[in-house]
Structure 1
Amino acid sequence: MPQTRTFATMFNSRGYNRHLYLLKEDNCGGLFYHENNLVSGSLEALIQHLVPTIDYYPDRTYIFTFLLSSRLFIRPYELLAKICLMCIEQQRLNEAVLDKGKIRKFTPKIVQLLIEWTETFPYDFRDERMMRNLKDMTHKIATLDELHRKTMHQMTQSLIRKLTTLNQYEDVLSKLNASVTDRLTVLKTKPQSIQRDVVTICSDPYTLAQQLTHIELVSVLCIITIISYNTCFSDLKKTSNLEAYVEWFNRLSYLVATEICMPVKKKHRARVIEYFIDVARECFNIGNFNSLMAIISGMNMSPVSRLKKTWAKIKTAKFDILEHQMDPSSNFYNYRTALRGAAQRSLTAHSNREKIVIPFFSLLIKDIYFLNEGCANRLMNGHINFEKFWELAKQVSEFMTWRQVECPFERDRKILQYLLTAPVFSEDERRIPSVFMKRHTFRSIIFQNNRN
């Protein structure tokens, strides 16, 4: 079976180098190299370069980059059908008498290619046409070589599990959104019904940071698949699951603001602010930059920042350090430095906790979007600009590495349920302090009446 490298190591070089990985004769028909790096090629030649033969298997770097970018030029199910046809023609699989020796050498390589495709881009196979083509190929392979029947079955079962997870994630999102809407309606009509707050549910800020990391890692697992599927990022803003992930960021920000503004007394609000500062600091230590940024955003909202007397009761040194780390100036230079440090720690880590890297997702999407918009997909001669897609794949591959980490923290269903469904006020920031403002007004009237 051809050996493959991890995502963490496969993009360390400048580009795809033919002398490192080209196992067949140096035939560059339709492909253009610069300093031994593949920079462009016709679609037909690039597809041909993906198809394994008896003595050649494409490098994983090339497989990932081409499968990621090819959907701009050919639909995945059409690509799979074309690969199948090329294999049949090249290996003469339709002939009455087959060379079983050659078949035994070729079969492991096409099996490996299918495994890499289903593992890296499972979302492609939600298309029934794609699944039908896959079944046709696996049936053909099993017919030619009985030894790989079990491998094909395991691959298919693994793919089905991944697709089931994606479907379940979407169902959960739908149910959570409905639950949040219902609870928010109750909050607006009966504010006195609020009996719980985040500190009551989880008094330990470190535990809350760990539960936030659970949510982020589950989301990332599904989101990166969808990023890869969406035509190299040109339609990212139209993708419902990506919108849901952005909504999660916004929800966490408004949850922080709501929790801070709800208490009537300044000392209680100050306690909640200090609590979220500790949560944010632990998110930073874990490597959960998305939750960190969401918390900082919530604490910088106008309803929170204007609580001057409350902030006066707090030692803000820790918060100032966190704000400095996520400072947007110089294109988020401080954050990018911290992210590189976390990524380096992940590469040399001995535990899953040290491997966790959850980037600030909105900035990642922005980086990918501008890289995509800044370069043409095709060159003047009609060739596909493979050099551009190499850079895109390099960015996405880092995220692919980070998504593979299993969360080492124990799940707390009660805390997770609260984080995902607790009612928060809408984007109209004037609504956020409405409940505690009504309480203040009521207390003020009583106080004035007593004085009178």
Structure 2
Amino acid sequence: MDLGRQESQDEGNRFWREEREEGAVYMVYLKRVTYRSHDRLEEGEKFMSHLMWETLKVRVVKAGTLERLVECMETCQGDLDSSHLNVFLSTYRTFASPEQVLKTLINRFIMLKSCAKDDDRKEMVEEQLKTIRSVISVWLDTHPDDFREHPDYPCLLDLEDFAKEHIADSDLGVRARHRLEKFQKEAKTLEESIEEMHLGARHGINGDKNVLFNQISNRSVAEQLTFKDAELFRKVVPHHCLGAVWSRRRKKGGKNPSSVVATIQQFNNVSLRVIATVLNTRGMKTSQRAKILQRWIEIAQELRDLKNFSSLRAIISGLQTHPVYRLRKTWAALPKNIMVLFTELSEIFSNENNQITSRELLMKEATAKFPDIESQNKTLQRRNLLKRQSWIENGIVQGTVPYLGTFLTDLTMIDTAFADITDDNLINFEKHRKEFEVIAQLKLLQSAAQIYQIVKDENFWTWFYSVNVYTDTESHDLSCTIEPPSDSNAKIKKKSASCAHTVLKMAAVYVLYHFITL
């Protein structure tokens, strides 16, 4: 009989019950599998095909000790469970260190190797040993930074020693040595580049210090912000976004999530410069100040065209802060179509229904060639149609940079809603599966951010970092100088405005602003 099995498309897995063993809790599902049997009727005659089905029992670990979670990387046949491995490698840092995981894998390998002499289990054990070697190999290839433990690199040294002693026929030891030498070389290069950067800062940096905001085109501003955002987003280490980086776990001694902090800092840098360029206009006419507001809104639209939701959100947040938004005369001087555009761009990040609009847009356009821009304004509709046609004719494909706060918010909510440890004192692995779903989306978008082909403009960044930014109090004082408050009680007005500013900024930047102030 020849069996060709495949999973039934009509019925998925159906939860049956929980099963408990020492050190682990499993969710058991019933999985319906269909297959076609091919029976020979008589010698020399044709096969008769029958469609048949059976129900299989599938166990998925829900919670367990570190040792049991490592064991679950093997299926019941001893093969590699790639689904479990992906979740584990993406989230384990919230409950174990790389050293602990490597030690657990090595101990299991040594224990199984001692059982390989048993003839009854030899074939199964050999398959399990092969799987553990595959796990370590995949880990080293897909998450190399887990082994970047400057300056001693204990995991790589332990891995090299283990490979030499227990799997001499493997190239794992050689690969560990090569990885160690590479990390040491990169660390030395980084130290040299930092020294060069400090020398450059002492002797001045390249770039025209006399460049002014009005000398840079809207498109150039948007492209340079996208260049920076895409660069930082590609460098985000996904597990840095987990709950381990936020206050509750950071207090337990978690490492500083530098890749996330850098993205957050750039977000705030953009918002602060939006505020500064609008408020640093004392002596200007209202119409001139309105031109600056208009420029930032138009730059936000250029960012929308580039599918850069990070700086787009930063600009909208800056424009919505109290010191800027209270300038009624300035806003009233904007053309009607610009106000319509600002409203449409602001609605992308509405907090209604957990920012559902921005989420839908992000998923819809994540890997699309260009943005699907819609507008209720007829003038904007015509302009967007012309842009779209131009993109098609010129074969333009845009990358994507998301607003990282969306992912940080989701992961923080998961971290808050689900306990790290169950009542049985086991690692809650079901929580980490939910975290992995968010991380998988983030990784997809990191691939999309590779598409941009933008060259860095040193003159722009010389201008950008030369802008003098203000504190909340300074921003409020400047705003009141430009358009004095009508309320005669200036002290009360100032205090309430400062509170409103903080609330608006917190709402606009959400988790990002909270984290950077910790």
CA shift digits 1:165-189 (9 cap, x unpaired):
9x68x969x97xx97xx99xxxxxx
TM-score, with normalisation over the residues of structure 2?
A: 0.62
Maintained 8 Å contact 2:308/2:400: yes
SS of the counterpart of 2:236? helix
SS of the counterpart of 1:345? coil
Greater mean deviation of Cα atoms: 394-403 or 239-248: 239-248
Aligned match of 1:426 in 470, 480, 505?
470
The one-letter amino acid of 1:207's match is S
Q: CA deviation at 1:133?
A: 2.5
> Is residue 169 of structure 2 the alignment partner of residue 145 of structure 1?
yes
Maintained 8 Å contact 2:243/2:411: no
Partner of 1:208: 221
Q: CA deviation at 1:93?
A: 11
CA shift digits 1:120-162 (9 cap, x unpaired):
4444334359832223324543661265666556655676688
Partner of 1:10: none
Aligned match of 1:247 in 253, 261, 265?
265
Maintained 8 Å contact 1:260/1:269: yes
Q: CA deviation at 1:58?
A: 2.7
SS of the counterpart of 2:472? coil
Maintained 8 Å contact 2:163/2:172: yes
SS of the counterpart of 1:34? strand
CA distance in 2, matches of 1:228, 1:87: 32
Aligned match of 1:414 in 447, 458, 464?
458
Maintained 8 Å contact 1:30/1:45: yes
Aligned match of 1:84 in 101, 106, 113?
106
Aligned match of 1:306 in 316, 321, 326?
326
Trace 1:102-181 onto structure 2 (pairs within 5 A): 110=132, 112-127=134-149, 131-138=153-160, 140-141=162-163, 144-145=168-169, 152=176
Maintained 8 Å contact 1:280/1:292: yes
> Is residue 346 of structure 2 the alignment partner of residue 323 of structure 1?
yes
Trace 1:2-401 onto structure 2 (pairs within 5 A): 30-35=24-29, 36=58, 38-43=60-65, 44-50=67-73, 56-59=79-82, 61-92=83-114, 110=132, 112-127=134-149, 131-138=153-160, 140-141=162-163, 144-145=168-169, 152=176, 196-200=211-215, 202-203=216-217, 205-225=218-238, 227=240, 231=244, 233=246, 234-235=248-249, 239=256, 241=258, 242-263=260-281, 264-315=284-335, 316-343=339-366, 345=368, 354=397, 356-401=399-444
Point out the structure with the larger helix share: 1
Higher relative contact order (CA 8 A, sep 6+): 1
CA distance in 2, matches of 1:352, 1:229: 37
CA distance in 2, matches of 1:223, 1:319: 30
Q: CA deviation at 1:67?
A: 2.7
CA distance in 1, matches of 2:439, 2:467: 34
Maintained 8 Å contact 1:288/1:359: yes
C-alpha spacing 1:32/1:70, structure 2 compared with 1 (3 Å): same
Maintained 8 Å contact 1:31/1:46: no
Maintained 8 Å contact 2:64/2:427: yes
CA shift digits 1:368-424 (9 cap, x unpaired):
112111112233333332221100111012112222342522222325523652233
CA shift digits 1:191-213 (9 cap, x unpaired):
xxx9543332x22x223222212
C-alpha spacing 1:73/1:148, structure 2 compared with 1 (3 Å): closer
CA distance in 2, matches of 1:212, 1:136: 43
CA distance in 2, matches of 1:318, 1:161: 50
Gaps of 5+ in 1: 1-14, 18-26, 96-100, 184-193, 441-452
CA distance in 2, matches of 1:251, 1:231: 25
Point out the structure with the larger strand share: 2
SS of the counterpart of 1:208? helix
Q: CA deviation at 1:216?
A: 1.4
CA distance in 2, matches of 1:75, 1:111: 19
Which of structures 1 and 2 has the bigger CA Rg? Answer: 2
The one-letter amino acid of 1:424's match is N
CA distance in 1, matches of 2:425, 2:178: 40
The one-letter amino acid of 1:199's match is N
C-alpha spacing 1:118/1:285, structure 2 compared with 1 (3 Å): farther
Superposition RMSD in Å: 4.7
Q: CA deviation at 1:31?
A: 4.9
CA distance in 2, matches of 1:46, 1:91: 19
SS of the counterpart of 2:424? coil
TM-score, with normalisation over the residues of structure 1?
A: 0.70
Q: CA deviation at 1:236?
A: 5.8
C-alpha spacing 1:152/1:107, structure 2 compared with 1 (3 Å): farther
CA distance in 2, matches of 1:66, 1:146: 24
The one-letter amino acid of 1:323's match is S
CA distance in 1, matches of 2:77, 2:113: 9
C-alpha spacing 1:294/1:70, structure 2 compared with 1 (3 Å): same
Gaps of 5+ in 2: 1-11, 15-20, 30-57, 118-122, 372-391, 485-518
Q: CA deviation at 1:281?
A: 1.4
SS of the counterpart of 1:199? helix
Partner of 1:446: none
Maintained 8 Å contact 2:370/2:398: yes
SS of the counterpart of 1:38? strand
CA distance in 1, matches of 2:395, 2:152: 34
CA shift digits 1:277-297 (9 cap, x unpaired):
122112223222111110001
CA distance in 1, matches of 2:368, 2:152: 38
Partner of 1:443: none
Maintained 8 Å contact 2:421/2:428: yes
CA distance in 2, matches of 1:437, 1:196: 27
C-alpha spacing 1:105/1:375, structure 2 compared with 1 (3 Å): closer
